[in-house]
């Protein structure tokens, strides 16, 4: 019995596939892997690649595929981050509200958060020179200036590590979040963050945004124009691979805005570019792989192996697992998450509970 294995099963019980098991439990992903590898190769070689829209309704595996993208980026040692959008706390038209999350959550190898990444680069001889070049480059903008101020303050104190200072507020985006008028600055800083990560050896930034269809919940056309402006900027940003999770509701909303001549607001240049490209079918749109009967059987086998690894004393009845699979096949939704949870529930029911004495009468 292993703690890691049991932790994985606990997450699977709630319908969450742990990152360490993601690739093993991603059945039927051969064609998807080709698309992802092509994009990551382009990002590494050219510093730019075509954005990807993953379209799927609830239960079709859209979120799973988005996590698969991040896992692939992590395996390639490419910086990555996921943003779950909503129309209130993290609306697409206000990127200044979720830039701090990006800065806090971006991961590069074992480092999480842009501060940890920068601090790691400063004490690493192989990356320090690249960090200094970025900080002193005029084209690095306010992000470079903030890093420069932190580095100079550290030198004045003869510190071998980077010290605290107001520049960290700029790096982390604390100065952006409270101000709704800072949307352009947040987009600029996100683009500069991606260039910094590329400079530090991360090939750039893979940014995954889920629930993009919440653009449909924004108040009015002006709000949606702001959201399309964000989408356009991310799609065209250097050193960035933007991957968006959408449902059919997003398609309907964009088509509605196109039909109602939202393109006449030409002052929103990034929004206009996005709407024109989307209307012309210029973006790559894929669906999560459909789970065939053969894939489902493969998934069942993988779950049984994982469960046996977590609970070596578990009584695993292959016939019962086959019954679960047969019941799942009769359900027209063919939701892989439902199959995983149903199978684990069946396996749990056959395993005796470990009752611990509390020492009380």
Residues 81-100 have pLDDT tens digits of 999 999 888 999 999 999 99
How many domains would you assign to the chain? Answer: 2
Vertex 66 angle, CA 60 and 72, to 5°: 130
- Please determine, for residue 77, whether its predicted confidence score (pLDDT) is greater than 60: yes
- Regarding whether 253 and 225 lie in a shared domain, the answer is yes
- Please determine, for residue 243, whether its predicted confidence score (pLDDT) is greater than 90: yes
- Regarding whether 2 and 34 lie in a shared domain, the answer is no
Residue 358 lies in a domain: no
- Regarding whether 347 and 217 lie in a shared domain, the answer is no
What percentage of residues in the chain have a pLDDT greater than 90?
Answer: 69
Residue 5 lies in a domain: yes
Residue 45 lies in a domain: yes
CA distances from 37 to 32, 49, 69, 209 (A): 9, 11, 9, 19
- Regarding whether 323 and 222 lie in a shared domain, the answer is no
Residue 241 lies in a domain: yes
* Rounded-to-integer distance, Cα 350 and Cα 336, Å: 22
Provide the 3-class DSSP secondary structure of residue 82. strand
Cβ–Cβ < 8 Å for 351, 314? yes
Q: Is 173 exposed, middle or buried (0-12, 13-18, 19+ CB in 10 A)?
A: buried
Could you tell me the two tokens for 198? Answer: 């590329």
Residue 100 lies in a domain: yes
* Rounded-to-integer distance, Cα 356 and Cα 33, Å: 45
- Regarding whether 216 and 338 lie in a shared domain, the answer is no
> For the whole model, what pTM was predicted?
0.89
- Regarding whether 160 and 63 lie in a shared domain, the answer is yes
- Please determine, for residue 361, whether its predicted confidence score (pLDDT) is greater than 60: no
Q: What is the pLDDT of residues 186-223, one digit of tens each?
A: 999 999 999 999 999 889 999 999 999 999 999 899 99
Average pLDDT over residues 273-280: 95
- Please determine, for residue 1, whether its predicted confidence score (pLDDT) is greater than 50: no
- Regarding whether 147 and 5 lie in a shared domain, the answer is no
Residue 60 lies in a domain: yes
Region class of 256: left (phi > 0), else alpha (psi between -120 and 50), else beta: alpha
Range of the domain at 4: 1-28+292-351
Residue 359 lies in a domain: no
- Regarding whether 297 and 174 lie in a shared domain, the answer is no
Residue 115 lies in a domain: yes
């Amino acid at each position: 019995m292993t703690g890691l294995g049991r932790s994985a099963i606990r997450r699977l019980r709630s319908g969450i596939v742990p990152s360490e098991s993601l690739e093993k439990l991603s059945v039927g992903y051969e064609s998807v892997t080709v698309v992802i590898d092509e994009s990551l190769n382009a990002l590494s070689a050219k510093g730019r690649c075509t954005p990807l829209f993953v379209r799927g309704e609830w239960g079709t595996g859209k979120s799973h595929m988005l996590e698969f993208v991040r896992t692939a980026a992590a395996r390639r040692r490419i910086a990555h981050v996921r943003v779950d959008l909503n129309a209130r706390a993290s609306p697409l038209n206000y990127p200044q509200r979720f830039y701090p999350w990006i800065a806090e959550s971006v991961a590069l190898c074992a480092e999480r958060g842009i501060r940890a990444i920068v601090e790691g680069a400063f004490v690493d001889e192989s990356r320090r020179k690249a960090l200094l070049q970025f900080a002193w480059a005029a084209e690095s903008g306010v992000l470079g200036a903030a890093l420069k101020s932190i580095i100079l303050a550290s030198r004045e104190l003869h510190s071998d590590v980077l010290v605290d200072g107001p520049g960290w507020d700029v790096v982390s985006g604390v100065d952006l979040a409270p101000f709704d008028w800072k949307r352009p600055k947040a987009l600029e800083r996100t683009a500069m963050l991606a260039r910094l990560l590329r400079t530090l050896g991360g090939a750039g930034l893979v940014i995954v945004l889920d629930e993009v269809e919440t653009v449909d919940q924004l108040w009015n056309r002006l709000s949606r124009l702001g959201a399309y402006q964000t989408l356009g900027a991310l799609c065209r940003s250097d050193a960035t691979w933007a991957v968006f999770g959408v449902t059919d509701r997003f398609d309907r909303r964009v088509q509605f805005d196109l039909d109602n001549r939202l393109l006449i607001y030409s002052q929103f240049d990034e929004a206009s570019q996005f709407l024109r490209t989307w209307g012309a079918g210029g973006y790559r749109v894929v669906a999560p792989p459909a789970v065939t009967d053969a894939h489902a059987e493969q998934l069942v086998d993988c779950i049984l192996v994982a469960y046996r690894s977590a609970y070596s004393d578990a009584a695993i009845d292959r016939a019962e697992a086959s019954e679960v699979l047969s019941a799942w096949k009769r359900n027209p939704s063919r939701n892989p998450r439902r199959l995983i949870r149903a199978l684990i529930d069946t396996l749990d029911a056959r395993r005796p509970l470990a009752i611990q004495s509390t020492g009380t009468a």
